[in-house]
Amino acid sequence: MAGGADGAAEVAEAFRELYGSPPDGVWAAPGRVNLIGEHTDYNDGFVLPLALPHTTLAAVARRSDGVLRLHSADVVGGVVELRPDALEPGGGGGWSAYPAGAVRALLDAGHAVTGADIHIASTVPTGAGLSSSAALEVVTALACNDLFGLDVPRWQLARLCRRAENLYVGVPCGIMDQTASACCTESHVLHLDTRHLAQRQVPFDLAGEGLRLLVVDTRVQHELGEGAYARRRATCEEGARALGVPALRDIAPDGLEKALAALDEPVVRRRVRHVVTENARVEQVLGLLDRGETRAIGPVLTAGHASLRDDFEVSGPELDLVVASANAAGALGSRMTGGGFGGSAIVLTEEAGADMVAMAVRDAFAAAGHRAPRVFTAVPSAGARRLA
Ligand code: GLA
């Protein structure tokens, strides 16, 4: 088994100690941040995520008796043993529902996965809105794909992992996080049309342009499984029904005023306005990146935050404070990223001013009496892969 800085050798060794023989291989799947395009993926819209250097590693060996044995270095407790074919929809299975759900989704799609021993270790912060769940699903699905010679394309693995999360974990998420973890590439953001699942890798060489993207994890926990995310989704579907379109994606920016005038409920109007303007912001950022005008995306990111705060109402005091303090300290733009209700924000800044911006955010948190945030750099990294 190859060693190295990627942690594969350590995870393989831990597997051997746990299960008594070496794994067949080691795989990695990253967490993500989303540059722009929030709460658009379940409206058939556009997203623009990038993979983080933080990954979930899985050492895996095939079994032939239909059993899945799961162990995580990051969870207190021993090996969980279960049969994925006996999983009940609806979730409630704790952390093991993510990998087990991924295997079950492969089985549901007719793929012969006859069981596995799995040991997991992750550097993706959990509960931070950085898609640790998707990383866990995707690393499991990719390992099974390789070990059982399934030949499922990555975009399809992402779909199966979303199904796992919807059905077997019980979170009604969209397709962004799983696709980001499965399909992102180094030094790129991934433009994804979530209706047609068309993808484009867009060059995003921040370091080369003297820029830095900071991630500020507010360390305030969000609970995606709880009602707010599902309620946002339901309200968007209600809006689309009222407007007579399959999804809010079908409202073009120049049709927004007319659409808003046709809606009675102020809350539905606000949600619709966010989704329509957010889709337009994704396309605007894409255009700027294509023209090499990376600095000019800053104000678009900040406008996206205002829309999430005021129209979609999924921000919170800590996220708002990151954006206000970072921008006041000279950042080019910032916004919450992911589902919201806590979690993380991203900040685009000049490389030269990055430390000052980070310090300003930390000072603002201290002055407000918030817990110190965790700040790190988002280097656009590779998607899921086999390490050994
Ligand atoms: C969570 C979900 C995604 C997406 C974002 C909001 O991360 O898992 O599918 O809806 O929230 O953009």
Q: Is the CB of 249 under 6 A from ligand 1?
A: no
pLDDT for the residue 6: 87
Looking at the predicted structure, is the pLDDT value of residue 261 above 60?
yes
Q: What domains sit in the chain, N to C, each tagged with a CATH number? A: 5-202 (3.30.230.10), 205-377 (3.30.70.890)
| Residue 177 annotated to the active site | yes
Q: What DSSP string describes 155-207?
A: HHHHHHHHHIIIIII-----SHHHHHHHH--TTEEEEEETTTTEEEEEE--TG
Q: Is 125 helix (H, G, I), strand (E, B) or coil?
A: coil
Instruction: Tell me the mean pLDDT in the region 218-231.
Output: 80
Looking at the predicted structure, is the pLDDT value of residue 2 above 50?
no
Contacts of residue 209, defined as CB under 8 A and 6 or more positions apart, other chains included, come to: 294, 295
pLDDT for the residue 225: 45
Quick one: which atom of ligand 1 is closest to the CA of 47? 12
Interatomic CA distance for residues 101 and 137, integer angstroms: 8
Looking at the predicted structure, is the pLDDT value of residue 245 above 50?
yes
Q: Is the CB of 338 under 6 A from ligand 1?
A: yes
4 falls in which pLDDT band (50, 70, 90)? Answer: low
pLDDT for the residue 242: 98
pLDDT for the residue 3: 41
pLDDT for the residue 293: 98
224 falls in which pLDDT band (50, 70, 90)? Answer: low
Q: Is the CB of 341 under 6 A from ligand 1?
A: no
H or E element at residue 57? strand 49-62
Calculate how far, in angstroms, residue 41's C-alpha sits from the geometric centre of ligand 1. Answer: 7
Calculate how far, in angstroms, residue 350's C-alpha sits from the geometric centre of ligand 1. Answer: 28
Quick one: which atom of ligand 1 is closest to the CA of 175? 9
pLDDT digits (tens, 9 = 90+) for 341-373: 999 999 999 999 999 999 999 999 999 999 999
Whether the Cβ atoms of residue 171 and residue 165 lie closer than 8 Å to each other: yes
Contacts of residue 184, defined as CB under 8 A and 6 or more positions apart, other chains included, come to: 30, 32, 49, 50, 51, 190, 380, 381, 382, 383
Q: Is the CB of 39 under 6 A from ligand 1?
A: yes
Give φ, ψ of 99 to 5 degrees. Answer: -65, -40
What's this model's pTM, rounded to 2 decimal places?
A: 0.97
112 falls in which pLDDT band (50, 70, 90)? Answer: very high
Whether the Cβ atoms of residue 214 and residue 346 lie closer than 8 Å to each other: yes
pLDDT digits (tens, 9 = 90+) for 132-153: 999 999 999 999 999 999 999 9
pLDDT for the residue 1: 40
* pLDDT > 90: percent of the chain: 95
Looking at the predicted structure, is the pLDDT value of residue 268 above 60?
yes
Instruction: Tell me the mean pLDDT in the region 166-173.
Output: 94
Whether the Cβ atoms of residue 44 and residue 20 lie closer than 8 Å to each other: no
Looking at the predicted structure, is the pLDDT value of residue 226 above 80?
no
Terminal-to-terminal C-alpha distance of the chain:
6
Q: Is the CB of 165 under 6 A from ligand 1?
A: no
Instruction: Tell me the mean pLDDT in the region 117-141.
Output: 97
Contacts of residue 46, defined as CB under 8 A and 6 or more positions apart, other chains included, come to: 37, 40, 191, 192, 193, 194, 279, 282, 283, 286
H or E element at residue 135? helix 132-147
Burial class (CB in 10 A: 0-12, 13-18, 19+), 289: buried
Quick one: which atom of ligand 1 is closest to the CA of 165? 8
Q: Is the CB of 173 under 6 A from ligand 1?
A: yes
pLDDT digits (tens, 9 = 90+) for 58-88: 999 999 999 999 999 999 999 999 999 999 9
Residue nearest to atom 8 of ligand 1 (CA): 173
Looking at the predicted structure, is the pLDDT value of residue 266 above 60?
yes
Calculate how far, in angstroms, residue 383's C-alpha sits from the geometric centre of ligand 1. Answer: 18
pLDDT for the residue 222: 61
* pLDDT > 70: percent of the chain: 97
Calculate how far, in angstroms, residue 218's C-alpha sits from the geometric centre of ligand 1. Answer: 17
Contacts of residue 325, defined as CB under 8 A and 6 or more positions apart, other chains included, come to: 360, 361, 363, 364, 365
Calculate how far, in angstroms, residue 234's C-alpha sits from the geometric centre of ligand 1. Answer: 14
| Catalytic position from the list 41, 117, 177, 217 | 177
Interatomic CA distance for residues 344 and 318, integer angstroms: 9
pLDDT digits (tens, 9 = 90+) for 37-58: 999 999 999 999 999 999 999 9
pLDDT for the residue 79: 97
Q: Is the CB of 177 under 6 A from ligand 1?
A: yes
Instruction: Tell me the mean pLDDT in the region 11-24.
Output: 98
Q: Between the CA of residue 27 and those of 17, 79, 185, 328, 363, what are the distances in Å?
A: 18, 19, 16, 41, 39
Amino acid at 72: S
Mean pLDDT for the chain overall: 96
Instruction: Tell me the mean pLDDT in the region 85-99.
Output: 89
91 falls in which pLDDT band (50, 70, 90)? Answer: confident
pLDDT for the residue 166: 96
H or E element at residue 82? strand 80-82
